[in-house]
Structure formats: C-alpha cells, structure tokens
Homo-oligomer: A and B are copies of this chain.
Amino acid sequence: MPKNPEPERLELLQGTLDMLILRTLQWGAQHGHGIGQAISSQSDDLLKVETGSLYPALHRLEKRGWLKSEWGISEANHKAKYYQLTAAGKAQLSRERDRWTQLVGVIGKIMNPAAE
C-alpha cells in the first residue's frame, strides 16, 4: 500500500520569506506563530515555514526596521509577540514586490518564450 499522497511541500526560494512575512503583516498585526500559519493556509498548505527560519527572519526584519513588535496575549490566551509593519517596512515590501514581479517576468520569458 502506497504512502499517503503528501502534497510534497515546496521549499521556499531564498529571499521570498521576508517578502511573505511583510505581506502577511499587511493584513494586520500578527504574532510569529500566526504568521507561519497564515502563510501555510494562504498557500493551501504548499508552503510551510519552519520555526528555525521564521523567528530568525522576524528578528532580522525588526533589526532592519521593517517591523516593530510588542508583547500581548494571543486569541488562545498565550503570551505572544505581535509584529506590525513600520513605514519603512511598507516601502520595503513595495520594493520586494517589484523585484519579485520583475524576476518572475524575466524568468518566465526564458522558460516559456511563447507566452509573450
């Protein structure tokens, strides 16, 4: 009997996690655990962010000033650090989105020239 299908997670491309985190926070402040789950669910579980990637990324983004944090209480009544976008973070998201669009366009053109 074959194993369960297991949708074969997509590994993240390096550099996309920061953008996805910033994007997720555009929907509103969120704590780390919640951000990870949001990315998972918004991608129909194709993307999964490991905690060993997630928390260093959040610290990194905060250190760069794209995010600011504040302790609070989660919906599940747990202590949680809530992150939200700063103005600089919004600008950064915009830059990363542009870059992503450009990259997808260029690579798409190479991979599938007919589509032009």
The CA of A106 and the CA of B10, in the complex, are separated in Å by: 10
Q: How many residues of A contact B (CB 8 A)?
A: 28
Cross-chain contact A16 with B19 (CB below 8 angstroms):
no
A-B contact pairs, 28 of them (CB 8 A): A10-B99, A10-B102, A10-B106, A11-B15, A13-B13, A13-B14, A13-B15, A13-B16, A14-B15, A16-B107, A19-B111, A20-B107, A20-B110, A23-B110, A24-B110, A42-B109, A42-B110, A43-B107, A43-B109, A43-B110, A44-B106, A46-B102, A47-B106, A97-B111, A100-B107, A100-B111, A104-B104, A104-B108
- A interface residues with partner B (beta carbon < 8 Å): 10-11, 13-16, 19-20, 23-24, 39, 42-44, 46-47, 97, 99-100, 102-104, 106-111
